Amino acid sequence: MAHIYMHFDFGADEEKAQEARHKLDVWKQAFRLDKKLQYKLDRPEDESAEETEAEDSDTAAKEEPKSKSKARARKTESESDSEGNGGGNVSLLVRLYFSTHEKLSEQRWLDRIPTEEPFKGASPKVIRKGQPGFDEAVKQFADLN
């Protein structure tokens, strides 16, 4: 059983990346792909900004429980502001992990994911075991939170 990684680069389009993340969540639930389909978002230049936003939202949540939606709204506004200011490239790393007897399911997901709408324009790249860049993808996936 080998992992297959799919790398999608959304550039500065945070909205498309979130749409793709949501679509993967729906698929995980609908098709019961809990351990078989995993993903992580990578925002290399926005890490420090997100940490301060997380702290701000934590303090706002402690002060007023009803202000969670306001904190989320502020977070999405600041994310869109960082987009306009030349924010970092948002990439999505998807790991498929099917057992050897599930080759047909694995191939169907490999064919389906890059052809769906939010993933099309994100320059999909499939990285299999033994190909160049596989070890880097494994390390990157492990390093992301």
Which pLDDT does position 87 carry in this prediction?
63
Determine the Cα–Cα distance for residues 8 and 28; give it in Å rounded to an integer: 18
* Buried residues in 106-129 as b, exposed as e (16+ CB within 10 A): beebbeebbeeebbeebebeebee
Report if pTM > 0.85: no
CATH topology of domain 1-44+89-145: Alpha-Beta Plaits (3.30.70)
Q: Domain ranges for the chain, please list them.
A: 1-44+89-145, 46-87
Q: For residue range 49-62, list pLDDT tens digits in order.
A: 545 454 444 444 44
pLDDT in tens, 34-49: 999 999 999 876 454 5
Residue 94 DSSP symbol: E
Enumerate residues 6+ apart whose C-beta is below 8 A from 28: 34, 37
